[in-house]
């Protein structure tokens, strides 16, 4: 359950960690095509690419690596908060 994590942030983190659109999409029960479009839309919105695409390979470029390093600790903290909220609802 993602209360505080945006879909854009989640998708970026998943792709950065898997380097595979199909695998990342599968983790959130989304088609690879739709997932790829969400990443392209994110890149369009921020105005620069985050990934290097070559043949069937995808990996973070320098800008993507810098963003990941800044964003991942925030993502971890928000995930922990989401989990705390989810678990407190079970009591």
pLDDT in tens, 26-43: 999 999 999 999 999 999
The predicted model scores a pTM of: 0.90
Residue 2 inside a domain? The answer is no
Task: Specify the number of domains making up the chain.
Answer: 1
Kindly state whether residue 48 falls inside one of the protein's structural domains.
Answer: yes
pLDDT digits (tens, 9 = 90+) for 59-71: 999 999 999 999 9
**Cα–Cα nearest to 58, from 17, 27, 28:** 17
**What CA–CA distance (Å, rounded) separates 47 from 85?**
34
CA angle centred on 2, ends 5 and 27, rounded to 5°? 100
% of the chain beyond a pLDDT of 90: 87
pLDDT, averaged across the chain? 94
Assign residue 71 the CATH number of its domain. 1.10.10.10
Confidence of residue 84 (pLDDT cuts 50, 70, 90): very high
């Amino acid at each position: 359950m993602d209360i505080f994590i945006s879909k854009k942030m989640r998708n970026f983190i998943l792709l950065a960690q898997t380097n595979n659109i199909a695998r990342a999409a599968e983790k959130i029960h989304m088609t690879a095509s739709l997932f790829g479009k969400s990443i392209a839309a994110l890149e369009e919105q921020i105005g620069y690419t985050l990934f290097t695409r070559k043949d069937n390979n995808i990996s973070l470029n320098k800008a993507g690596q810098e963003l990941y390093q800044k964003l991942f600790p925030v993502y971890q903290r928000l995930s922990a908060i989401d989990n705390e909220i989810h678990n407190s609802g079970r009591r």
